[in-house]
Amino acid sequence: MSAPTIVWFRRDLRLADQPALHAAAGQGPVIPVYVLDDERPRNRRMGGASRWYLHGSLEALAAGFGRHRSRLILRRGDAVRELACIAEETGAAGVHAIRHYEPWWREAEEELGKAVNLTLHDGNYLMPPGGVTTGAGDPYKIYTPFARALMPHLPAREVLGEPSLTLPDAWPGSDTLAEWDLLPTRPDWAGGMRDFWTPGEAAAHETLEGFKDRVADYEDDRNRPSIDGSSRLSPHLHFGEISPAQVWDALAHHGGKGAQTFRGEVIWRDYTQNVICQFPKYPEASYRDTFASFPWRDPARTKGAAADLEAWQAGRTGYPIVDAGMRQLWATGWMHNRVRMIAASFLIKHLLIDWRHGERWFWDTLVDADYANNAVNWQWVSGSGVDSNMFPRIMAPLTQSEKFGAADYIREWVPELADLPDDEIHDPADGKRNGYPVKRIGHREARERALEAYRTAKG
- E-strand stretches of 69-113: 73-76, 94-98
**Per-residue pLDDT reduced to its tens digit, 93-148:** 999 999 999 999 999 999 999 999 999 999 999 999 999 999 999 999 999 999 99
Res. 156: pLDDT tops 90 = yes
Instruction: Give the confidence band of 150 by pLDDT, cuts at 50, 70, 90.
Output: very high
- Give the mean model confidence (pLDDT) for residues 144-167: 96
pTM over 0.95: yes
405: left (phi over 0), alpha (psi -120 to 50) or beta: left
Query: Strand, helix or coil at 36?
Result: strand
Concatenate the DSSP letters of all residues of 319-382 into one string.
Answer: -HHHHHHHHHHHHHS---HHHHHHHHHIIIIIS---HHHHHHHHHHH-TT--HHHHHHHHHHHH
Nearest-angstrom CA–CA distance, 28 and 340: 46
Strand duo 118-121 + 94-98: pairing: parallel
Q: Could you tell me the domains of the chain?
A: 1-122 (3.40.50.620), 125-155+202-278 (1.25.40.80), 289-458 (1.10.579.10)
Res. 1: pLDDT tops 80 = no
Nearest-angstrom CA–CA distance, 183 and 170: 30
Dihedral sign for Cα atoms in the order 98, 101, 102, 105:
positive
Nearest-angstrom CA–CA distance, 456 and 364: 32
Distance of CA 1 to the CA centre of its chain: 41
